[in-house]
Chains A and B, each alone.
Chain A
């Protein structure tokens, strides 16, 4: 394959040029999550000639993914192929000399630190807890990272750099727990594509050292209602922030700063405990899951989801019956309850 020809149109673009293309080809990027966002972002990076890609995902391909997760096929869904593996295979079809490392498993602090050094981390996740872990890992190792998320027709993105501006923890001040996820509100592919396009563009700017061109704002849009917004968030930077402030403690990297999943002995069930500062509303959760709801009282509610039974308590704890293990339990919790 003639690489001169392959990347010729990208090199012609004034913002990249020959030196920018060389920088892209020398870069290592970690993409966390290989769902709709992550798989699309991985494809764009590989096509752009990224030097090395590490892709981390805990999930396998399902039929309901195929409407928007563009790397995957019916054969992948039929074979329950792990997303990271299916993605790697397809990405090597696209660019046979690409260097792609995959991890089939949860992105925890140790797994992520093992993938370093890297020039950039890009978020393709479906939950906030892991995003805060990325936030803390990236800041600790002075690596930029790019937040991106979407639900329905809505999406948003923000670029965190260690040098300046607030981090994601400064902006959110806690974890939203509103139960609005792609599994409850649905999602259309163009919303994903918008977010991924923004993340990949910011990635290209960072990797080619075009720092002046970085967007510098928190940005959101709704492709259905045609609303969009861009806010300069500098004033939200918190000097006492435990992630990016003067004396950081990186709470999301500590064991106490993570949710817990434990198998309950002899019950074919796993208990998931969310982070202490998450608040669950039984009422709103019941409202968001009318078609899954089988029982509710003032202490708990019972949801039947994907042939599993999820019992959610007022304190945010859930006991999930019928799952294969702790990874599946945590994934189900984050997809349907939030976090």
Chain B
């Protein structure tokens, strides 16, 4: 499946949901804000929110450095 992730087109092989995508990108253990096609996906819905070909996904994770 092809999605646009943070502005870049990417092929996603193993993820059917937002939760699986976060695992695949190795950010599942971090605090994140996720948007799918312009709408924020609340954390408690990450497991239910399915992905479709052509989705525009934005993921921002928090870091503490500076």
In the assembled complex, the CB of B33 is this many whole angstroms from the nearest CB of chain A, namely 6
A228 near B6: Cβ-Cβ < 8 Å: yes
A151 near B43: Cβ-Cβ < 8 Å: no
Chain A residues within 8 Å of B35, by CB: 231
Interface size on B, residues (CB 8 A): 20
Q: Considering the chains assembled together, what is the distance between the CA atoms of A60 and B31 in angstroms?
A: 30
Q: Considering the chains assembled together, what is the distance between the CA atoms of A5 and B61 in angstroms?
A: 43
In the assembled complex, the CB of A265 is this many whole angstroms from the nearest CB of chain B, namely 31
Q: Considering the chains assembled together, what is the distance between the CA atoms of A174 and B31 in angstroms?
A: 8
Contacts A173-B43, A228-B6, A235-B40; is A127 near B29 (CB within 8 Å)? no
B66 near A36: Cβ-Cβ < 8 Å: yes
Closest B residue to A168 using CB positions: B62
Interface size on A, residues (CB 8 A): 53
B64 near A195: Cβ-Cβ < 8 Å: no
Contacts A173-B31, A173-B43, A231-B35; is A124 near B66 (CB within 8 Å)? yes
B63 near A127: Cβ-Cβ < 8 Å: no
Contacts A230-B58, A231-B40, A236-B40; is A182 near B65 (CB within 8 Å)? yes
- In the assembled complex, B45 has its CB within 8 A of some CB on chain A: no
A156 near B31: Cβ-Cβ < 8 Å: no
Chain B residues within 8 Å of A36, by CB: 66
- In the assembled complex, B5 has its CB within 8 A of some CB on chain A: yes
In the assembled complex, the CB of A249 is this many whole angstroms from the nearest CB of chain B, namely 21
B8 near A178: Cβ-Cβ < 8 Å: no
Chain B residues within 8 Å of A175, by CB: 31
B63 near A149: Cβ-Cβ < 8 Å: yes
Chain B residues within 8 Å of A174, by CB: 31
Chain A 163-185 near chain B by CB (<8 Å), digits 1 or 0: 00000000111111010111001
Contacts A229-B58, A229-B59; is A171 near B33 (CB within 8 Å)? yes
In the assembled complex, the CB of A37 is this many whole angstroms from the nearest CB of chain B, namely 4
A233 near B33: Cβ-Cβ < 8 Å: yes
Report which B residues bind A (CB closer than 8 A): 5-8, 29-31, 33, 35, 40, 43, 58-66
**3 tightest A-B contacts by CB?**
A227-B6, A37-B66, A151-B65
Report which A residues bind B (CB closer than 8 A): 33, 35-38, 123-128, 131, 148-151, 154-156, 171-176, 178, 180-182, 185, 187, 192, 195, 218-220, 222, 225-233, 235-236, 281, 284, 334, 338-339
Query: Knowing that A123-B66, A227-B8, A236-B40 are A-B contacts, what are 8 other residue pairs whose CB atoms are under 8 Å apart, sorted by A's residue number?
Result: A148-B66, A150-B66, A172-B31, A176-B31, A176-B64, A187-B65, A218-B60, A233-B33
23 contacts between A and B (CB under 8 A): A37-B66, A124-B66, A126-B64, A149-B63, A154-B63, A155-B63, A156-B60, A176-B31, A176-B61, A176-B62, A180-B30, A180-B63, A192-B66, A219-B60, A220-B6, A227-B7, A227-B8, A229-B7, A229-B59, A231-B58, A231-B60, A233-B33, A233-B40
